């Protein structure tokens, strides 16, 4: 039998254990004990609320209206680009030209791709990554032959990155910084001062700043900023946004990448043209409708707030410590002193049928610290009725 060689960097990803294997195994045990319908699943961050009607209707219309268009425009159809420009201007007071926006297959694949465009393989170049953080930041860096360096998001730093803690030898090798606000899963909105610090760090050290703003419309009190609102950020920054969580469009997998620096856009536009056919026409039209509509994000903010405010007091009564999230639909809860995240999550799941994720499984160990070693994550995706049912079980 022939043996096929594998990219050495790919092998590092393939051989790494999947962090949710333990959770999935316990979930199957709970389903066998209680039945699948009994489980209230706060584990997976996949919205269960329906995609807004305005989006579905736009998609239906587009099926007929685009039937003769052929291949989609890789760099975006006019309606989509205009809608993103309208959204960025109204939401952040940021002016973008159409040639500064590219439609993407959500944010996941783009997050994964970018390191391969901006890191030189196997030269020890570094990506600075919030920890806990989105796995594609790390896996994309590894496949590109780079080295992830994790910025621990700790309670003592108000769940914001501490740039002063980066060793000088790491900073010299840093080529990319991922910033995520509101931060998943802590729910922290990165302050304007910290964003300013991030921009200065990147400008002074020739680092690309990738601002993941996928949760920017899921907030409770204060509005998150875009990195483009920070002076001079346009020289070193790329913004990623997605409709998966904002508009319950995980099944559509659509978002955008934007930059005001043509040198940062050029690698992505070039590879897009040479490697893919582009986001489907009907999806671009549906996305345009989503970006033009502000009613459904406003409604979802109210719904997530109801779920948040129902769940947190119940967690506190059983000994958890919770700092209310400022954004996202996650609750990052510190477990009671005499237990561990895994034991705590197993107890909830196997005794109460409530599923959550141990924080240490979705965090990396950096400088002998795992920021999730005392935490569990709840995704506020079950309905309010199901959330209240979970609260009653916790009582």
List phi, psi (to 5°) of 116.
-70, -15
Q: Domains in the chain, start-ordered, CATH in brackets?
A: 8-50+296-394 (3.90.1150.10), 68-292 (3.40.640.10)
**How many helices (H) and strands (E) in the chain?**
13, 13
Give the HSE-up count for residue 104: Cα atoms under 13 Å, Cβ half-sphere. 27
Angle between helices 262-275 and 108-118 (to 10 degrees): 110
Strand order of the β-sheet with 101-104 is 101-104, 255-258, 237-242, 208-212, 174-180, 126-131, 147-152
78 in helix, strand or coil? helix
Predicted pLDDT of residue 2: 52
Decide if 377 contacts 356 (C-beta within 8 A).
yes
Predicted pLDDT of residue 1: 40
> From the CB of residue 17, how many other CB atoms can be counted at a distance below 10 Å?
8
Beta-strand ranges (E) seen in the chain are: 40-41, 101-104, 126-131, 147-152, 174-180, 208-212, 237-242, 255-258, 321-322, 330-334, 354-355, 357-358, 375-379
pTM, whole model, 2 decimals? 0.95
**pLDDT, averaged in runs of 10, over the chain (395 residues):** 74 78 84 91 93 97 89 91 98 97 94 96 94 95 97 97 97 98 98 98 98 98 97 96 97 96 93 87 97 97 98 97 97 96 95 95 95 97 98 95
């Amino acid at each position: 039998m022939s043996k096929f060689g594998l990219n050495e960097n790919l092998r590092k990803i393939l051989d790494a254990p999947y962090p949710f294997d333990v959770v999935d195994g316990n979930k199957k045990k709970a389903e066998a004990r209680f039945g699948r319908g009994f489980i209230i699943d706060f584990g997976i961050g996949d919205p269960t609320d329906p995609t807004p009607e305005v989006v579905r209707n736009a998609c239906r219309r587009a099926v007929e209206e685009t039937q003769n268009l052929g291949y989609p425009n890789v760099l975006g159809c006019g309606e989509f680009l205009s809608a993103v420009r309208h959204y960025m201007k109204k939401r952040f007071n940021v002016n973008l030209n159409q040639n500064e926006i590219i439609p993407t297959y959500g944010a996941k694949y783009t997050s994964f791709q970018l390191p391969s465009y901006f890191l030189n393989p196997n030269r020890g170049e570094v990506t600075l990554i919030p920890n806990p953080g989105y796995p594609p930041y790390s896996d994309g860096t590894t496949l590109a032959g780079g080295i992830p360096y994790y910025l621990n998001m700790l309670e003592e730093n108000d769940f914001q990155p501490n740039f002063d803690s980066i060793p000088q030898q790491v900073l010299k090798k840093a080529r990319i910084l991922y910033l995520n606000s509101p931060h998943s899963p802590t729910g922290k909105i990165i302050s304007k001062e910290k964003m300013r610090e991030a921009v200065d760090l990147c400008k002074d050290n020739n680092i690309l700043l990738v601002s993941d703003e996928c949760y920017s419309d899921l907030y409770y009190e204060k509005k998150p900023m875009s990195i483009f609102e920070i002076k001079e950020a346009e020289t070193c920054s790329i913004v990623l946004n997605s409709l998966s969580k904002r508009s319950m469009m995980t099944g559509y997998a659509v978002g955008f990448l934007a930059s005001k620096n043509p040198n940062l856009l050029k690698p992505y536009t070039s590879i897009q043209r040479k490697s893919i056919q582009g986001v489907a026409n009907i999806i671009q039209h549906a996305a345009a409708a989503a970006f033009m509509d502000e009613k459904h994000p406003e409604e979802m903010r109210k719904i997530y707030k109801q779920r948040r405010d129902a769940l947190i007091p119940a967690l506190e009564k059983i000994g958890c410590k919770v700092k209310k999230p400022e954004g996202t639909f996650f609750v990052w809860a510190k477990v009671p002193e005499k237990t561990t995240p895994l034991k705590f999550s197993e107890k909830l799941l196997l005794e109460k049928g409530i599923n959550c994720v141990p924080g240490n499984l979705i965090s990396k160990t950096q400088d002998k610290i795992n920021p999730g070693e005392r935490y569990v994550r709840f995704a506020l995706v079950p309905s309010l009725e199901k959330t209240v049912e979970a609260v009653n079980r916790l009582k």
